Amino acid sequence: MKASKSRISFLFFILLSIIIISNCSREDTILVTRVGGRKITLKEFEIKFARGKNAEMIKGSSLEDKKKFLDGMINRQLKIIDAYQHELDKDEKIIGLVQERSRGFMFNRLIELEVTQKIMPDSELKDFYEKANKEVKIRQIVVKYDPKFPGQKQRAFTRAKEIVQKLKNRENFAKLAADVSDDINTAKKGGDKGYLKWGPRSSENPVYAAAFSMKVDEISDPIETPNGYYIIKIVHIKKYPGPPFEQEREKIRRQIYSIRSREITDAYYKYLDNLRRKYKLQFNEDGIVIFTKQFLSPKIDSLNAPKKSENLLDNFSTSDKKLIIATYKNGQLTIGDLIEELKKYPRHRQPRFQKKLEVQEFINSRLIPIHLLEQEVNAKNIKNDKTIKNQIKSFRENIMINNIQRIKINEKIEVADCNIKNYFEEHREDYKNPEKREVQQLFVIDKDLAGNLAKRARRGEDFTKLFRSYNEKESIRKNDGKLEITKGRAGIGKPSFQINLGEVTEPIKIGSGFYIVKVLNITEPTLKTFDEAKNIVSAKVRRLAYENRENEWIEELRNRINYFVYEQNLEKAFKKYTGQNIVAIE
């Protein structure tokens, strides 16, 4: 069945987030720090420190760099401990936010386990990881055929087997490739194809699949492709020691997901269909009909109905809301449930139902999956899944940190206007209006013409006359191409600020042509008034006050809460790490 827009919308809610859920491996037991009763392992430190850094950056990191980063991790743990000491984990608003988000976490984890991991198992991710950390150089002999003619394919296969037999009889691969290969480009190089690098779609290519499973000097049997048979020889393998698999897992998962998303989508819908059968889903036609009629033509005739409202969803009576629209094992859905779901949409985005089937499709694609997934989450005890516990804990503590920072920092900061004014006066030179330049520009498409015009302008020819004679861009024709710019202007800004008054730039390639620019006038930077700079200065003063207050708070926490750094373990960080851009074996 073709997916509706509402089904795709719900799928977006679920599937885009499941690919970021990590599987937990055996926890590292080596500690780099202990903060109060909380621990940070060497493995946790390495994963967080390496995030956003390439191999050279990591290899070049000193022990002091690692200590500084670890200090930030320690500060976070201190803040979390303070938040628990203020019993923010018992705050009703935080509990509500965590409960609301936990439902989505558990849905995502369920689909990760029941759908995604079955299509992208860890074994596939690890296989990709191993192959992505090497390049394979091959020689090839190609025996082509036209797939439109079956007889050609059989003859090509026979010929390919004969070539393989010659190679087994120790004929020189390069010489044979030059003599018999149908691929002209590689034949003249003795079949040299160069290095192959593994990517997300490489498994779909039978030549790549074979090459990355072979050893140096090994020769393949004929490899069938849509337009020919390939015989390959492995000439050389470059191996790259990569980051730990655990660190690369999610990047690999995303790469594979990007090309298998349709397969995962189909599997997700099949999974939902299985749940509908498992829980014996049935629609109540009468309830859906009543909702549809009332939605299209509201009638306010019930004694307990609310007053007429512009929002049609407010015009259902209490008795209407109790009517059942669907049942399933262990539960049911009412018109009231449907109304509450619809109210989650902004008014302008609420569905405009025109008939009963549209209402039923919305119920089936939006409401039913949520309730059936909830049944499965409970049945499979997903709330006690280790990954889910960690996710919920992390989410809770992130909210707690935001709240304790508000209490300990934001609510204690007071910045008076006099403080802002004093800072402005003390740092007067920092707040200036930028230098401005009046320039004249002309645009031509031809590079040689642009160069010639730039030379003529430098020799003193009138730039305005050149503009009127040669400019080919209508949008700058107004005012003969004159305008005022600052250095930050895209395109012509930087080159225009690299020359002096009265000088002309070299042709500047932008888009489909070339700009030539002459500087007509220079307005030097001027000091801003307090009113002009007030907003910027205010933000700066508040930021400084925030940093000072945060430092005071951290110092107080470090004096109050015990922590210990295992420096000898920190020194071990990345001892076995090298990155993908470093060749280990040639």
Over 80: is that where the pLDDT of 227 sits?
yes
Strands 563-565 and 31-35: antiparallel
Structure tokens at 181: 């290969």
| Residue 247 confidence class, pLDDT cut points 50, 70, 90 | confident
Q: Is residue 234 part of a domain?
A: yes
Last residue within a domain, chosen from 239, 274, 306: 239
65 lies in a domain? no
The full DSSP string for 40-79 is EEHHHHHHHHHTT--HHHHHT--HHHHHHHHHHHHHHHHH
Cα–Cα nearest to 315, from 298, 329, 332? 298
Amino acid found at 128 = F
In this prediction, residue 251 carries a pLDDT of 85
Q: Is 130 helix (H, G, I), strand (E, B) or coil?
A: helix
Q: Which of 471, 493, 524 is the last residue of a domain?
A: 524
CA dihedral angle for residue 356, residue 360, residue 366, residue 371, rounded to 10 degrees: 140
For 387-411, give the secondary structure using H, E and C. HHHHHHHHHHHHHHHHHHHHHHCHH
Rounded CA gap, 572 and 46, in Å? 10
Report yes or no on 385 lying in a domain.
no
Place of tokens 């071990």: 572
Task: Kindly indicate the confidence band of residue 133, based on its pLDDT and cuts at 50, 70 and 90.
Answer: confident
Question: Bigger pLDDT: 222 or 25?
Answer: 222
Give CA–CA dist 266/275, Å, rounded: 14
458 located within any domain: yes
Confidence of residue 576 (pLDDT cuts 50, 70, 90): low
DSSP 310: S
What confidence category does residue 29 fall into, taking pLDDT thresholds of 50, 70 and 90? confident
**Does 220 map to a domain?**
yes
As a whole number of angstroms, the distance between CA 370 and CA 382 comes to 15
> Of 93, 139, 134, 154, which Cα lies nearest the Cα of 396?
93
pLDDT digits 0-9 by tens, 403-442: 999 999 999 999 999 999 999 999 999 999 999 999 999 9
Residues 98-113: what's their mean pLDDT? 95
Residue 575 lies in a domain: no
The Cβ of residue 403 has, within 10 Å, a number of other Cβ atoms equal to: 16
Average pLDDT over residues 292-319: 69
Distances in Å between the alpha carbon of 552 and those of 211, 333, 484, 545, 548? 60, 54, 47, 11, 6
Reference 401, options 204, 574, 553; nearest CA is: 553
In a domain, 503, yes or no: yes
Residue 309 clears pLDDT 60, i.e. is over it: no
Domain encompassing residue 203:
134-239
The pLDDT tens digits for 428-439 are: 999 999 999 999
User: What does the mean pLDDT of the chain come to?
Assistant: 89
Check residue 16 and give its pLDDT.
46
Q: Give me the mean pLDDT over the 22-31 stretch.
A: 59
pTM over 0.85: no
The C-alpha atoms of residue 100 and residue 420 are separated, in whole angstroms, by: 41
**Contact call for residues 231 and 140 (beta carbons, < 8 A):** yes
Is the pLDDT at 12 greater than 70? The verdict is no
pLDDT level of residue 570 (50, 70, 90 thresholds): very high
Phi, psi torsion values for 197, nearest 5 degrees: -120, 135
Helices (H), ranges, 237-321? 245-278, 285-296, 318-321
Element (H, E) at 17: helix 5-18
Cβ within 8 Å of residue 571, ≥6 positions away: 63
Q: Cα dist. 485→450, 495, 497 in Å? A: 22, 12, 10
Contact 400, 80 (CB under 8 A): yes
Domains held by the chain: number: 2
Q: How far apart are CA 46 and CA 41, in angstroms?
A: 9
Are 175 and 258 in contact, with CB atoms under 8 Å apart? no
DSSP 563: E
Query: What does the H/E/C string look like for 412-479?
Result: HCCCCHHHHHHHHHHCHHHCEECCEEEEEEEEECCHHHHHHHHHHHHCCCCHHHHHHHHCCCHHHCHH
CATH number at residue 465: 3.10.50.40
Of 524, 549, 577, the residue that ends a domain is 524
Cα-flanking dihedrals φ and ψ of residue 504, to 5°?
-125, 140
Write down the H helix ranges in 62-190: 63-85, 92-111, 117-119, 122-132, 150-168, 173-180, 184-187
Tokens matching residue 348: 């302008």
Report yes or no: 577 and 52 within 8 Å, Cβ to Cβ: no
Place 526 in a pLDDT band, splitting at 50, 70 and 90. very high
Residue 335 lies in a domain: no
pLDDT at position 81 is 98
Cα–Cα distance measured from residue 50 to residue 29, given in angstroms and rounded to the nearest whole number: 19
